[in-house]
Amino acid sequence: MGIVSPGFHGRRRGNTMLPPGQYEEEDFPVLSAGPTPRVPTDRWQFTITSETGERYSWSWAEFQALPQETPTVDIHCVTRWSKFATTWKGVSLDTLFEDVETAADYAMIHSYGGYTTNLPLEDLLDGQAWVAHRYDGEDLDPEHGGPARLLVPHLYFWKSAKWVRGIQLMPEDSPGFWEAAGYHDRGDPWREERYQGD
Ligand SMILES: Nc1nc2c(c(=O)[nH]1)N[C@H]1C(S)=C(S)[C@@H](COP(=O)(O)O)O[C@H]1N2
Ligand SMILES: [Mo]
């Protein structure tokens, strides 16, 4: 992929759809900084921890019993591929945060396997983020983050932590794995926020 036939994708190639510096990818590349952790759903747990140490946890069964949404979204990787109209199933972060009491402005996402990424809490709320467990009508592949991953499509895809296990709320911002390595703190693809200083 990468060769563009003008006309075939013209409708979706308008500037309004493809962020600057991105190309359209038809496949679904796998990008993982380490080995794929295997997390059986009977051991899976998802926990939001507030800045005061309050814990809100869901087992796999409890998570599945929450209201489910089926977002269709475009995704944008900082390595310059974008994929249009990906279809997911999962739980909105608004649902997971419903009973969470917090005054924190920042969140650190933690994954099984040790990956982390940081976001302002407001980027996770108001219909902008999900914990997704199905992709394209199937259970999410382990390579793509199964049993469940964060999905934050309005930011570069490194913010969409695979094998997500929890969220730590923080009063102060703090860098995650790629952010500490020089990637942008927020990563808005429409502003082309790839690296620190962009
Ligand atoms: N746990 C974890 N999550 C991760 C990563 C990772 O290495 N580990 N890579 C990130 C990056 S850089 C990208 S582009 C996407 C890739 O997701 P995919 O492999 O499903 O395409 O996952 C993100 N989430
Ligand atoms: Mo990425």
**For a pocket test of ligand 1, which of 1, 160, 195 has the largest count of ligand atoms closer than 8 A to its C-beta?**
160
The pLDDT tens digits for 72-111 are: 999 999 999 999 999 999 999 999 999 999 999 999 999 9
| b/e per residue 81-110 (b: at least 16 CB within 10 A) | bbbbebebbbbbbbbbbeebebebebbbbb
CA-34 nearest atom, ligand 1? 7
Is residue 191 within 8 A of residue 127, CB to CB? The reply is no
Q: What is the mean pLDDT of the segment spanning 1-22?
A: 59
What is the rounded CA–CA span in Å between residue 28 and residue 88?
13
Amino acid at 14: G
pLDDT given for residue 11 in this prediction: 42
pLDDT given for residue 14 in this prediction: 52
The pLDDT tens digits for 14-56 are: 545 899 999 999 999 999 999 999 999 999 999 999 999 999 9
DSSP string, 96-152: HTTT------EEEEEETTS-EEEEEGGGTSSSS-EEEEEETTEEPPGGGTTT-EEE-
Neighbours of 80 (CB within 10 A): 14
CATH 1.10.10.10, applies to 44-191: no
Q: Is 165 left (phi over 0), alpha (psi -120 to 50) or beta?
A: alpha
What share of the chain has pLDDT > 90, as a percent?
A: 91
Instruction: Spell out the domain ranges in the chain.
Output: 44-191
| pTM, two decimal places | 0.93
Q: What is the mean pLDDT of the segment spanning 125-150?
A: 98
**For a pocket test of ligand 1, which of 86, 157, 167 has the largest count of ligand atoms closer than 8 A to its C-beta?**
157
